[in-house]
């Protein structure tokens, strides 16, 4: 992508994504929580105040290869984590689209139609 405001907006959007809850996902990507022998699957689910709570690991900031590397002291809820991660991805996609919409190169902009509705010819 060429240098300029669009590139900077995309870089900023990516940086915000990686510093959000969604950025933590990359450290958990190699770990299959459902196949580990310790706290496997949804056995850790609990009902609190009429809601099913799936205990989720404390925040991680490096690659996790085995579930034994995880701690569970912050009492995070897996559903809340998933909602936060999806919200971060949604914000990223909206910022990415906005970056492209707000910084369209001149060569791709259409000329406004004439007052009578006939299309204008784009200038080369």
Output the tens digit of pLDDT for each of the chain's 124 residues.
888 999 999 999 999 999 998 888 888 877 765 555 555 555 667 788 888 888 888 998 888 888 888 898 998 888 889 999 999 999 999 999 999 999 888 777 777 777 887 777 655 4
Instruction: Let me know if residue 123 belongs to a domain.
Output: no
What stretches of 1-124 adopt beta strand conformation (E)? Answer: 45-48, 51-56, 76-77
Q: Count of domains in the chain?
A: 1
Domain that holds residue 49: 5-105
Whether this prediction's pTM lies above 0.85 is answered by no
What stretches of 37-113 adopt beta strand conformation (E)? Answer: 45-48, 51-56, 76-77
Instruction: Let me know if residue 96 belongs to a domain.
Output: yes
CB atoms within 10 A of CB 64: 17
The answer to whether the beta carbons of residues 112 and 118 sit under 8 Å apart is no
Instruction: Let me know if residue 115 belongs to a domain.
Output: no
Q: What three-state secondary structure class fits 74?
A: coil
Instruction: Let me know if residue 112 belongs to a domain.
Output: no
């Amino acid at each position: 992508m060429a240098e300029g405001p669009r590139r900077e907006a995309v870089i900023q959007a990516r940086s915000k994504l990686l510093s959000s809850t969604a950025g933590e996902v990359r450290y958990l990507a190699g770990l299959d929580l459902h196949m580990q022998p310790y706290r496997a699957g949804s056995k850790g689910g609990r009902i609190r105040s009429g809601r099913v709570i799936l205990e989720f690991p404390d925040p991680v900031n490096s690659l996790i290869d085995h579930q034994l590397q995880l701690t569970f002291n912050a009492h995070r809820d897996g559903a809340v984590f998933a909602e936060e991660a999806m919200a971060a991805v949604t914000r990223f996609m909206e910022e990415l689209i906005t970056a492209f919409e707000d910084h369209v190169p001149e060569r791709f902009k259409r000329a406004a139609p004439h007052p009578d509705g006939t299309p204008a010819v784009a200038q080369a």
